[in-house]
Amino acid sequence: MAAIAASTFYGKKKNGYECYSSTRCLFNSTELQDIEFIRSYYYNKIEHVRFSSDVGRFVGYTEFGVKNAEMWNNNPGQLAAMRAQKETYCQHNIDLWYANVLSKSVKPSVRLHSTMAPGCHHPAMLVCSVYDFYPKQIKVSWLRNGQETTSDITSTEKFANGDWLYQVHSHLEYMPRSGEKISCMVEHASLDEPLIINWVPPMPETERLIIVGAIGLILGLILFVAGVIYRRKSGDTSLAHRFGEKQAEDWNKDPAALSLWRPQKEMFFKPDSELCFTNVLPKSVMPLARLHSMTPPGGRHPALALCRVYDFFPNQSKTRTDAGSQ
């Protein structure tokens, strides 16, 4: 059964609310016969009078409430207004809830993990944690070798996230048995079929070390094979060199090939040489010079004079140092 609730406060004092009312709609569907409208009135946090659409009148629970109920039940207009709330208030809001909230669903995410059991009575405890699902109704069960089990389940707790979503955690104490298959099964309105998560025990430390060693061995073999391939490719260089020598020997025996290559000196290199002599070699770039002192290594002389000349062309240059005597 779902519910819609609203509260109205009339005033409050230091130690509690002086007077307030609460309105609720309890329903299983949008049909009027499945809806109950309830209006409760409180004084200092104590409900003293209530109207229920299933009863059709006010009922008092305290001396003050009984007097108020008697007075209100003698008012046909007030009774008619309260009886109409089931249709005008509840059914209207319930239609909105079914259209925008209750007809929606959010699939859960499931995590199956182990933890230590309280008091260490068992080697371990499995926890099936189901997160972020809607609506609230959900079934979490445990399977041993495909058969549902109800023993050793210590607790199943539901929590509201505060954002319309819920979470639930189910705990199963277990004693590991060889070949046993343990699963967590989740059934929810958002799922077309039950979601089953199988428990996979963590790998023992010895097996983990064996796998790490095997991976290291495989990587070593890969590096060894890569080195062999590299060496073979490097050996191919000498083979190519011998092939080049053989081909040069064959071409030198061919007069036609020699006659084709010998004129290249004049046809190809001479024009480029003339361009170089015209545009490059006659040009020159004035050098930049810097003279400074530096302390020689070992301290055998007071100082050294260093003359540095930068950025000049052509490379023919002459540097002369004139030193005066004291």
Which whole number is the average pLDDT over 13-34?
A: 81
Higher pLDDT, 127 or 323: 127
Beta strands in 28-68 (DSSP E): 35-43, 46-52, 57-60
Strands 195-198 and 166-174: unpaired
Q: What pLDDT sits at residue 187?
A: 94
Q: What pLDDT sits at residue 285?
A: 75
Q: What pLDDT sits at residue 271?
A: 64
| Whether residue 184 sits in one domain with residue 141 | yes
Asked, for residue 11, whether it belongs to a domain, the answer is: yes
Cis amide prior to 314 (ω within 30 degrees): yes
| Whether residue 9 sits in one domain with residue 81 | yes
Residues 110 and 130: their CA atoms lie apart, in Å, by: 5
| Whether residue 42 sits in one domain with residue 86 | yes
Most confident among 45-59, 117-131, 272-286 (mean pLDDT)? 45-59
- Cβ pair 200, 180 in contact under 8 A: no
| Whether residue 84 sits in one domain with residue 57 | yes
pLDDT digits (tens, 9 = 90+) for 273-303: 666 666 666 677 778 777 767 666 655 556 6
Within 8 A by CB and 6+ apart from 135, the residues are 102, 105, 189
Asked, for residue 139, whether it belongs to a domain, the answer is: yes
- Backbone φ, ψ for residue 266 (5° rounding): -85, -40
Residues 168 and 207: their CA atoms lie apart, in Å, by: 34
| Whether residue 61 sits in one domain with residue 89 | yes
| Whether residue 152 sits in one domain with residue 92 | no
| Whether residue 290 sits in one domain with residue 225 | no
Q: What pLDDT sits at residue 326?
A: 41
Higher pLDDT, 22 or 213: 22
Among residues 102, 119, 138, the one where a domain terminates is 102
Asked, for residue 326, whether it belongs to a domain, the answer is: no
For the chain, the domain total comes to 4
| Whether residue 93 sits in one domain with residue 14 | yes
| Whether residue 286 sits in one domain with residue 210 | no
Which whole number is the average pLDDT over 175-200?
A: 88
Q: Which amino acid belongs to residue 157? A: E
Cα within 13 Å of Cα(238), Cβ side? 4
Asked, for residue 252, whether it belongs to a domain, the answer is: no
Asked, for residue 151, whether it belongs to a domain, the answer is: yes
Asked, for residue 242, whether it belongs to a domain, the answer is: no
Domain containing 220: what range? 205-231
| Whether residue 115 sits in one domain with residue 70 | no
CATH number at residue 146: 2.60.40.10
Asked, for residue 283, whether it belongs to a domain, the answer is: yes
Instruction: Give the containing element (helix H, strand E) for 215.
Output: helix 205-252
| Weakest-pLDDT range from 78-82, 101-105, 294-298, 321-325 | 321-325
What residues does 182 pair with on adjacent strands? 144
| Weakest-pLDDT range from 32-36, 65-69, 143-147, 211-215 | 211-215
Asked, for residue 255, whether it belongs to a domain, the answer is: no
pLDDT digits (tens, 9 = 90+) for 198-225: 988 766 556 556 666 778 778 877 887 7
CATH number at residue 47: 3.10.320.10
Reading the block at residue 7, the tokens are 């509260």
| Whether residue 179 sits in one domain with residue 214 | no
| Weakest-pLDDT range from 18-22, 77-81, 259-263, 320-324 | 320-324
Which whole number is the average pLDDT over 263-270?
A: 66
What angle, 0 to 180 degrees and rounded to 10, lies between the N-to-C axes of helices 63-73 and 76-85? 100
Q: What pLDDT sits at residue 325?
A: 44
Among residues 173, 198, 223, the one where a domain terminates is 198
| Whether residue 121 sits in one domain with residue 87 | no
The pLDDT of residue 230 is above 80: no
- Cβ pair 61, 48 in contact under 8 A: yes
Q: What pLDDT sits at residue 268?
A: 61
Higher pLDDT, 90 or 6: 90
Average pLDDT, the chain: 78
Percentage of residues in the chain with pLDDT exceeding 70? 69
Among residues 102, 122, 145, the one where a domain terminates is 102
